[in-house]
Structure 1
Amino acid sequence: MELKFVDPRSLKDNPDKARRSKSSPQADALLLATIKAIGVVEPLIVFAEADGGNGFVIDQGHRRAKQAIVAGLDEIAVLVVPRAEDGGAMRSLATSITHEQLNPVDLWRAIERLVALNWTEESIAIALAQSVRQIKKLRLLANVLPAMLDAMAKGDMPNEQQLRTIAAASLDEQKEVWKANKPSKGDPQVSWWSVANGLTKRRMYARDASFGDELAQAYGIAWVEDLFAPADQDSRYTTDVEAFLGAQQEWMTQNLPKKGVITESTTYGEVKLPPKAERVYGTPKKSDHTAMYLDREGKVKTVHFRMPEVRKKGKAADTADDAAIVMPKSRPDVTRKGIEMIGDIRTDALHEALSRAPIEDDMLLALLVLAFAGQNVRVDSGAGGDHAFGRRMPRHAATLFDAEGKFAFDAETLRIAARGVLIDALSCREGMSKSGLVALVAGEAIGAGGFLANMGTEDFLSCLSRPALESSCANTPVLPRARVKDTRAALVEHFKEGRFVHPAALFAPDATSLTEWLAKSAVAEVDDDDSVDPEGLDDENQSSGKGEFEEGYREAAE
């Protein structure tokens, strides 16, 4: 073999070359850009002409020679090899078959190597005839879990949207999702849809934010650039939904017009106007009011509405008109996510207390009665044709039977079963399992507040409004900071070794709500004339049965 430098115009094509189809214009443009930027990287393979001439025939590198001519190169490197008996046909075929384009993972690793050698993204893009944006996209693979990269390197690549979602997640989040979705030996195919779906987070975009940098910093919002989004739009986003909505609420409070109110939206994203208000679709009058609200995407929306005229004159009319308007509503002290967290924390504390706290037998029986008055309890009665199919708790009842199937138990077994029933029945969680007021009463009665977990954490404190967060600094050495994020971080640090319980999580029931519940739940005495005898008993038998029941109840109570 001999290395020479020759004019690419003097080289002749091999008539026996394996690749006859024309390459795509995009591939030629890429090769041309690379040659212009860094020259012909790999020398062409050539052999001497068969007729004894001084020229050379191209064995490998026809496209490189052609694009070198287009690039205007006067000289390129070639490696002269002996001519094969078949004219190089087998060598050309084998080389064409074995050439394979780099997969995205290997291409990314090569790019990272160039960056480490002080190549800029711009220079790499020019050399590879790619856009800078494309180079940045490939570099996002640096944020992908190594185990996922290994799967991608085998050619099993997610689509662009899925890759964007995966790269935006933290490595810890990716690791947890990969455990549940990594391929098995029997089925090596990766379900990238499942992986991406497990890592999908709701995004709040900067282009939808009404607030500026000052409130963004106050709420600790750090914008992330979405490199996969169209280049002509602001693609910055945050996954801190609570902070985004809190900043939007505060902006509305600061920019509320004189006759403005902050209201909510319906399930369908429509505005909720005050009672009797009429929405104005045309040009509003000076006497009309303004309503500001957040739609389902977190955008600030503004509509105008008109209240019905009040016929009274003078100050009384103004007072009546003002009374019909809903007062401006600021961000609630605790968000919906915070309320749900309180429900979970309360329930865990209540169940812990029911398992371990000392409870007298009479209190235990009273709590059982109370638990079955909860709004989450339904019983298959069988008294009529309509059945309320609800949860059943046979496993606790089964412990009250002995090995021979007799209904026999000791006091300790009964106590354990009663505690288990209470744990299954009483709940403070949001949703259909919520017991309501009775769970708070039960929790207060047995001191479940002492089992509440520390709520001075980043997760919970991020659910508090600025006023609620600053009020949590009371009785602590922590002073409110200019930025909400800094105040929260200081409180988390302070309560790291201590314990913080938000007042909203306490078990003490509201006195008004308790009074209303007692009034509504009281059983009205039924007149004898209106009573129904389901068994067809006569009055004498009914009276006798009633007396026996009352006597037995008094004995049990004593």
Structure 2
Amino acid sequence: MEIKLIDPRSLVENPDRTRRSKSSPQSDALLLATIKAVGIVQPPVVAPQTDGGNGFVIHSGHRRVRQAIAAGLEEIAVLVGEPTEDGGAMRSMVENIARENLNPVDQWRAIERLVALGWTEEAIAVALALPIRQIKKLRLLANVLPVMLDHMAKGDMPDERQLRTIAAASLDEQKEVWKAHKPSKGDPQVSWWSVANGLARTRMYARDASFGDDLAQAYGIAWVEDLFAPADQDSRYTVDVEAFLGAQQEWMSQNLPKKGVITEANNYGEVKLPPKASRVYGTPKKSDHTAMYLDREGKVKTVHFRMPEAKKTKGNGAGADAADEPIVVSKPRPDVTRKGVEMIGDLRTDALHDALSRAPIEDDTLMALMVLAFAGQNVRVDSGAGGDYRFGNRFGRHAAILFDADGKLAFDMDTLRVAMRSVLIDVLSCRENMTKSGILALVAGQIVGADGFLASMGTEDFLSCLSRPALEASCKDTPVLPRQRVKDTRAALVEHFSDGHFVHPTALFAPDALALGEWLTSNAPVGDEDDAASVVDPAGYDGDAPVEPTHDDTDVVDEDYADGFREAAE
């Protein structure tokens, strides 16, 4: 074959060509755009006419010739072959059937090669007559783990939604998930749903944000475009849920109406209103109140509610304006988020257990702590120490060390101290779950000096739980100055505390005096009834007096029985 430059308008179409159905307008437009951008990459194949004409007949490349004419090309390169007996029918069929489109991975690699050679995404899109979003989608594959790409290149591709989730995850996360779901020799197919599900992360969308760029910058929110979303909507998102919700909370605080309150949503996603409040579904009155809250998707929602009218009092009518008084004090984002409170509970518990294990404790203090431990609000008992929570198994082991080989209760004070410390560790807990002992655990921690055992909280994980004011307050007594962006302030503190020790004030074992006073009041002994029914002074015990049966397994004691018991005790 030889190459010749020929006017495409002089070429004759082959009446025996294989492809006779019309190509789609989209594919014709794509071919035209590529010819305009880079010319004809693969020259059409032609042969001299055999019917006496002096021209050339097209054997393959009819569409290329037509689009070259449409592009206004005066000459194109063609490959001139020898005439065939079948008029090029077999050559045309083979050329069409053997062709295979590039898979997405090869398309991406080709695009990355063009980018490396200096092509812009816009230029590539024009040359290939593809939307710029399609080019960006293919370039998402640059974020996919290489071993996953190699598998995808074999033809086993995830769908667009799954690919989006995979590409949004870090390479380290992809590596861990791929280990669990990579194909085996017996089953070469990958469960892309499982891979994507293992990498799925909660997304908060910019279209749901009430705050603007100033708060987004302050909270270090970097929007990422969802290239697989419809083109007619704002598809930017972030996976930094804490920062998004913090910015939403701060926006609500800045834009709260005069009679507004910030509240929460309940487990069903509905707004929690103040007690006795009734929601207003129609047009609100001037005397009505406004409640702002975040729904399950992090969107700011606004509802109106009405409080019952205050009853007018006789005389000077002091209660007439009671309905206009503030119902609830609105609160901005808390200094420490719920996750932060849970982290403090875990850190406190670890420190408390460490102190109970190693700190010097007097024997009388140890016995007092035992009483405190079993008065905690978690006494069923639900242990915060982890492992088997069943009372018999855990506490039976501690009691067993007090027995000798013959099954007799025989121990020295050292053994007793070890057993008491172990029981205290299993009972006392500050964790934010069913094992929490309440304020008594803080009292115990203060007594044994558990503050000195608290782990450093100057980490990214904990500091991300602090509000902006709380984070900036943590800069006090440090050379770190608050930055314009919360994210930068947090990074500077993490770096500063990497070689030091930081404990947030809210984590210290300092029981609230008011809460402790309320606890003492609610648990104070009640006169003679408590003295008689629960404690008998050993010094005044009469050995000949009958011992009344106790009713520890009942919640209600018959009054006649209680009166008789008091008389016997007296």
TM range (shorter): 0.7 to 0.9
Paired residue secondary structure (1:509): coil
**Matched residue, 1:2:** 2
Please tell me whether the aligned partners of residues 291 and 303 of structure 2 are also in contact (alpha carbons under 8 angstroms): yes
Once the 2 structures are TM-superposed, how far is the Cα of residue 504 of structure 1 from its aligned partner? 1.9
Q: 1 CA distance for matches of 2:115 and 2:76?
A: 27
Query: Residues 118-171 of structure 1: CA distance to partner in whole angstroms, max 9, x if unpaired?
Result: 222222112212111111111122222222222222222111111112222233
Asked if 1:429 is matched to 2:431, the reply is yes
- Counterpart check, 1:462 vs 2:464: yes
Q: CA RMSD in A?
A: 3.9
How far, CA to CA, are the matches of 1:151 and 1:372 in structure 2? 59
User: One-letter code of the match for 1:338?
Assistant: G
Please give the per-residue CA displacement for 1:4-28, whole angstroms capped at 9, x wherever unaligned: 1223444455677666665444333
- Matched with 1:385 is none
- Matching residue's letter, 1:332: P
Give, as a single letter, the amino acid of the residue that structure 1 aligns with 2:26: Q
The aligned residue for residue 563 of structure 2 is: none
Larger CA deviation: 129-138 vs 479-488:
479-488
How far the C-alpha of 1:353 sits from its partner, in A, is 4.1
1:251 aligns with 2:251: yes
Deviations 1:504-534 (A, max 9, x none): 222333344445556666898789999xxxx
Tell me the residue number matched to 2:449: 447
The residue type paired with residue 159 of structure 2 is N
Q: Are 1:543 and 2:508 matched, yes or no?
A: no
Are the equivalent residues in 2 in contact too, given 1:393–1:421 (CA < 8 A)?
Answer: no
Task: Supply the AA of the counterpart residue of 2:499.
Answer: E
- In 2: Cα distance, 1:417 partner to 1:145 partner: 53
Deviation at 1:223, TM superposition (A): 1.9
Which residue of structure 1 lines up, in the alignment, with residue 67 of structure 2?
67
Superposition map of 1:93-242 within 5 A: 95-242=95-242
- Matches of 2:195 and 2:546 in 1, distance apart? 67
Partner Cα distance (2:80, 2:358) in 1: 88
SS in 1 for 2:318: helix
Q: Shift in Å at residue 94 of structure 1? A: 5.1
Greater mean alpha carbon deviation, residues 92-101 or residues 155-164: 92-101
Superposition deviation, residue 476 in structure 1: 2.7
Residue-by-residue CA offset, 1:230-288 (whole Å, 9 max, x unaligned): 22222222222222222222222222222222222222232222222232333323222
Contact 2:287/2:324, CA 8 A, preserved across alignment: no
What is the CA–CA distance in structure 2 between the aligned matches of 1:277 and 1:44, rounded to whole Å?
80
Aligned residue type for 1:308 = P
SS of equivalent residue, structure 1 residue 543: coil
| CA drift at 1:338 | 1.1
Closer, same or farther in 2 for the Cα pair 1:472/1:69, shift >3 Å? same
Alignment of structure 1 residues 9-408 onto 2, 5 Å: 9-12=9-12, 23-49=23-49, 54-82=54-82, 95-310=95-310, 311-312=312-313, 316-317=318-319, 320-322=322-324, 325-354=327-356, 356-357=358-359, 375-376=377-378, 378=380, 391=390, 394=393, 397=396, 400=400
Question: Is the CA contact (8 Å cut-off) linking 2:49 and 2:55 kept in structure 1?
Answer: yes
**Equivalent position SS for 2:78:** strand
Distance, in Å, in 1 between the alignment partners of 2:72 and 2:171 is 48
Report the Cα distance in structure 2 between the residues aligned to 1:508 and 1:156, rounded to whole angstroms: 59
1:485 aligns with 2:487: yes
C-alpha displacement at 1:328, in angstroms?
1.6
Counterpart-to-counterpart distance in 2, 1:188 and 1:449: 55
Letter paired with 1:503: P
Q: What SS does the corresponding residue of 1:316 show, helix, strand or coil?
A: coil
* Contact kept in structure 2, 1:275 and 1:324, CA below 8 Å: no
Q: Aligned equivalents of 1:490 and 1:396: distance in 2?
A: 46
Q: List per-residue Cα deviations over 1:313-339 (Å, max 9, x = no partner).
A: 767336633556111222111111211
SS in 2 for 1:3: strand
5+ residue gaps, structure 2: 383-387, 535-542, 551-570
Structure 1 residues 196, 443: CA separation in 2 closer, same or farther (over 3 Å shift)? Answer: farther
Distance 2:84 2:545 in 1: 118
Structure 2 CA distance for aligned equivalents of residues 93 and 349 of structure 1: 79
1:347 is displaced (CA, Å) by 3.3
Query: Structure 1 residues 443 and 67 mapped into 2: Cα distance closer, same or farther (>3 Å)?
Result: same
Aligned pair count? 529
Provide the rounded CA distance (Å) in 2 between the counterparts of 1:428 and 1:184: 46
Q: What is the alpha-carbon distance in structure 1 between the residues aligned to residue 394 and residue 6 of structure 2?
A: 90
CA distance in 2 between partners of 1:527 and 1:56 (Å): 119
Instruction: Report if the CA contact (8 A) 2:401-2:415 is conserved.
Output: no
Residue type at the aligned position of 2:455 = A
Question: Matched residues in 1 for 2:329 and 2:320: separation?
Answer: 15
Report the residue type matching 2:327 in the other structure.
I
Range moving further from structure 2, 327-336 or 260-269:
260-269
Match of 1:383 in 2: none
Q: 1:51 to 1:480 in 2, by over 3 A?
A: closer
Q: Give 1:471's aligned residue.
A: 473
Give the alignment's TM-score, normalised by structure 2. Answer: 0.79
Which residue type is aligned with residue 240 of structure 1? D
Q: Deviations over 1:81-121 (max 9, x none)?
A: 44567766665555545422111111111111112222222
Identical pairs, percent:
74
Q: Which amino acid aligns with 2:251?
A: W
What aligned pairs does 1:508-547 form with structure 2 within 5 A after superposition?
Answer: 508-517=510-519, 543=547
> Which amino acid in structure 2 is aligned with residue 247 of structure 1?
A
TM-score normalised to structure 1 length:
0.81
Which amino acid is 1:276 matched to?
K
Q: 1:51 to 1:407 in 2, by over 3 A?
A: farther
